[in-house]
Structure 1
Amino acid sequence: MAQADLVNFPAAADPKEVGYRIARRFIAGKHMLHAGKWISYPETFYWTGAINYAHLTGDVELMQAMKGRFSKLTASEPQLLPIKNHVDLNMFGSLPLRLYQLTKDKSYLDLGLPYADTQWELPDNVSQAEKDWAQKGYSWQTRLWIDDMYMITIVQTAAFKATGESKYLDRAAKEMVLYLDKLQRPNGLFYHAPDVPYYWGRGNGWMAAGMTELLHMLPEDHADRPRILKGYRRMMKSLKQQQRKSGMWNQLIDEADCWAETSGSAMFAYAIISGVKQGWLGAKQYGPVARRAWLALANYVDDQGAVSEICVGTNKKNDKQYYYDRPRHSGDYHGQAAYMWCVNALLEGKE
């Protein structure tokens, strides 16, 4: 069996059971806000992951809880809906767009689609640099931080899936090629930013997951697919080499004495699991990498579904020690979300 490494896990690492704990933790979880004002991107992605888990497993109770929480947000907490002026805020649209896909309730489409559209609609009060990006056909929110390649990709691909309009997919692909050309290093990894020459785990994880999401959507004959697939495989080859004996990846990927970090490791595992399942990666080479990663990751989930050893939110800084010293939290939504991606990737295609 080509994907034998991705099935038959021991009970402690059973994806459905691990996913059950993590997804249900979200039901009673507090909001994780961006700048103390709006629903954050970690909460958005955790929420969507729980919805996808409920859909994959037929968990009606969980799905109703997710929809109920969203109804409360729009009816009672509308001030928490993100504004549409930043790459870390526009990504919110991916959540209602996913709900629209599953329910065909047009109110979700009407809420979500403007978040995708305004990434390419130049507002009045923009800088010259933002105008320059827009004139070249890119999002005015372009800033060449590797995080962007999930934030932009996820809402644009969600808009494509919801509407079938190819412009959304073409936008995301064009943007991804730009970031690959500008930021990918010869070893296949990515600096946190052009002026921060360190291979930060979760930053690279956003890039890995963004390419994965896009490759799921791009037709075989799409003009940008070969370039994106090349960048993806180049990164996966490097990640295979950098994986620790434990199965994890470190906070700074290439630093052997740095600590194992769960959110980035889960993002890498998600990208590799998907690659093996989709045939983008050789199962013989990469199946064992994915299995080792998931078995290791499962050890960091407690009985209440909280993931430990998650690096807190981290801005770029040209200081290696800064990354070593970042606090580690349990239950932080950055890691909770990434674990749900792994769970769902492992469950997809199963009865």
Structure 2
Amino acid sequence: MKKFLFSVRLLIAGAMFSFCISVHAQTSTDNSALATTELMANSIMQRHPQAWAMREFKQLKEPEWGYPYSLVLYGFQKLYLKTGNEAYLAYAKTFVDQLIDADGKIKGYAITEFNIDSINPGKLLFLLHEKYQDKRYLTAMQTLRTQLQWQPRTTGGGFWHKNIYPWQMWLDGLYMGAPYYAQYAQQFNEPAKSFDDIAHQFLLIESKTRDAKTGLLYHAWDESHLQLWANKDTGLSPHFWSRSMGWYAMALVDTLDYFPAKHPKRKELIRLLNELAEALLTVQHPSHLWYQVTDQGDRYGNYLETSGSAMFAYAFAKGVNKKYLPQKYQQIATDIFNGIVQGHTEFDKQGQLHLKNTCGSAGLGNEPYRTGTFEYYVSEAIRTDDPHGLGPFILAGVEIAAFQ
């Protein structure tokens, strides 16, 4: 343990040095992006030796299976693959091992809730199963695939977000389910109809939520039009929320990693990414970030929000690296990352790096009822070091560090 802490301190010291250089120079080279990313990761591990404690406001006493943790830890796995530092992999593995028992059962997970958010942590299992060949991981992966098999759907075949949200598709849900579905289908050689289904999820929700005038996507769609937040004619929620489009953009680039090269819908998914990216540029703030309520920056209470902005940085950077997006997005992604670092991070007295101005959570319906109004979105808690921002920040840094 002492050796581990010592190595972490060394990494932090070296990363901080590189980070300070990049900030003073007001530039971000490939190396400084990686150093900043490692500094953030190492700061997280110092603050929270147990990953399940990173959502400080919840004051948990034991681990829980949830997507905010996996969002960060998926970034840690990518950072491990980039750097070879086993500490990053171990941090994620410990979290998973605390939640999957000897029989491969997931603690606190109930398949009949049909909560698509619960699929997302399963992405951590692929690398762990490949590296350690532990059957527990495979059993858990199979359980999550079974959930997708029976997930309730709209009449057009779109996955409900949760059992408690009937007839509703949220942009968030594409990130929660589609990349896992695609990776599982590829790894276990599922037939083409699985990829047909995955593409259908993206195309369906885009067709329902896309605003013809701006090209932006509304947060959610209620097929039944029964929800109080739903437009009675269209079923749409009333506003554009940056993080929801961030979820969708990240889902596209991550799903494409596993989509067959010759699948007839692959080009359609790339088209969706390009169209959304172009629409987002029309409402980007001069600081290179986006507002919480995407298109209403001039309204009182709105603010520049770091999670959605980091998600766009990640999707744009990966889009360039994978040749889905034009080369101009390399500089755009770098500028977003720099804008976040320079305007929305800070050091504490211990030399740890913190990420500010992240929306803690936002959704629709449930109790207390979330109305989807402008006032609702800007009233949600704004947090420092929230996993919704930390995860995409790390993912974006890794992708930017890969620029050639």
TM-score, normalised by the number of residues in structure 1: 0.84
One of 172, 180, 188 as aligned partner of 1:163:
188
Provide Cα deviations, 1:272-319, integer angstroms capped at 9, x if missing partner: 111222222221x32221121011122323342431100011113232
Q: Counterpart in 2 of 1:22? A: 40
Question: Structure 1 stretch 220-229 or stretch 65-74: which is displaced more?
Answer: 65-74
Taking a change above 3 Å as real, the CA distance of residues 83 and 154 of structure 1, as seen in their structure-2 partners, is farther
Provide Cα deviations, 1:243-271, integer angstroms capped at 9, x if missing partner: 21111111111122331100000011111
Matches within 5 A, 1:1-351: 11-12=22-23, 13=28, 14-24=32-42, 25-26=44-45, 27-29=49-51, 30=53, 32=55, 38-75=64-101, 80-84=107-111, 85-121=114-150, 130=152, 133=155, 138-139=158-159, 143-166=168-191, 168-186=194-212, 187-194=214-221, 195=230, 196-257=237-298, 258-283=302-327, 285-299=328-342, 300-303=344-347, 304-316=352-364, 317-348=371-402
Give distance in 1, aligned partners of 2:158 and 2:169. Answer: 11
Q: Counterpart in 1 of 2:367? A: none
Taking a change above 3 Å as real, the CA distance of residues 344 and 109 of structure 1, as seen in their structure-2 partners, is farther
Give the superposition deviation at 1:17. 1.8
Provide Cα deviations, 1:5-52, integer angstroms capped at 9, x if missing partner: xxx996345222222233231444406499x89422111211121122
Provide Cα deviations, 1:57-111, integer angstroms capped at 9, x if missing partner: 10023322332332233359x7744322211123232222342244443331221
Taking a change above 3 Å as real, the CA distance of residues 311 and 132 of structure 1, as seen in their structure-2 partners, is closer
Taking a change above 3 Å as real, the CA distance of residues 249 and 140 of structure 1, as seen in their structure-2 partners, is closer
Task: For 2:197, give the aligned amino acid.
Answer: R
Provide Cα deviations, 1:121-166, integer angstroms capped at 9, x if missing partner: 26xxxxxxx3664xx6554657211111111112212313542434
- Give SS of 1:242's match: coil
Ranges in structure 2 where 5+ consecutive residues have no aligned partner: 1-17, 162-166, 222-229, 231-236, 365-370
Question: Structure 1 stretch 237-246 or stretch 222-231: which is displaced more?
Answer: 222-231
Give the superposition deviation at 1:206. 0.7
Give distance in 2, aligned partners of 1:80 and 1:107. Answer: 12
Give distance in 1, aligned partners of 2:65 and 2:390. Answer: 15
Taking a change above 3 Å as real, the CA distance of residues 140 and 319 of structure 1, as seen in their structure-2 partners, is closer
Ranges in structure 1 where 5+ consecutive residues have no aligned partner: 1-7, 123-129
Taking a change above 3 Å as real, the CA distance of residues 322 and 68 of structure 1, as seen in their structure-2 partners, is closer
Give distance in 1, aligned partners of 2:120 and 2:64. Answer: 12
Give distance in 1, aligned partners of 2:321 and 2:79. Answer: 18
Contact 2:70–2:124 at 8 Å: present in 1 too? Answer: yes
Task: For 1:338, give the aligned amino acid.
Answer: P
Task: For 1:82, give the aligned amino acid.
Answer: Y
Provide Cα deviations, 1:199-250, integer angstroms capped at 9, x if missing partner: 1111111111111112233233212223222221110001122221111111
Task: For 1:346, give the aligned amino acid.
Answer: I
Give distance in 2, aligned partners of 1:291 and 1:154. Answer: 24
Taking a change above 3 Å as real, the CA distance of residues 101 and 172 of structure 1, as seen in their structure-2 partners, is farther
Task: For 1:264, give the aligned amino acid.
Answer: G
Contact 2:100–2:136 at 8 Å: present in 1 too? Answer: no
Q: Counterpart in 1 of 2:14? A: none
Contact 1:96–1:112 at 8 Å: present in 2 too? Answer: yes
Give distance in 1, aligned partners of 2:216 and 2:267. Answer: 18
Task: For 2:209, give the aligned amino acid.
Answer: L
**Percent identity of equivalent pairs:** 22
Q: Counterpart in 2 of 1:127? A: none
Give distance in 2, aligned partners of 1:216 and 1:120. Answer: 21
Count of aligned pairs between the two proteins: 332
Taking a change above 3 Å as real, the CA distance of residues 79 and 100 of structure 1, as seen in their structure-2 partners, is closer
Task: For 2:283, give the aligned amino acid.
Answer: Q
- Give SS of 1:91's match: helix
- Give SS of 1:210's match: helix
Taking a change above 3 Å as real, the CA distance of residues 102 and 131 of structure 1, as seen in their structure-2 partners, is same
Taking a change above 3 Å as real, the CA distance of residues 179 and 112 of structure 1, as seen in their structure-2 partners, is same
Give the superposition deviation at 1:333. 0.8
Contact 2:106–2:140 at 8 Å: present in 1 too? Answer: no
- Give SS of 2:362's match: coil
Contact 1:98–1:162 at 8 Å: present in 2 too? Answer: no
CA RMSD of aligned residues (A): 2.9
Give distance in 1, aligned partners of 2:259 and 2:106. Answer: 35
Contact 1:91–1:115 at 8 Å: present in 2 too? Answer: no
TM-score, normalised by the number of residues in structure 2: 0.74
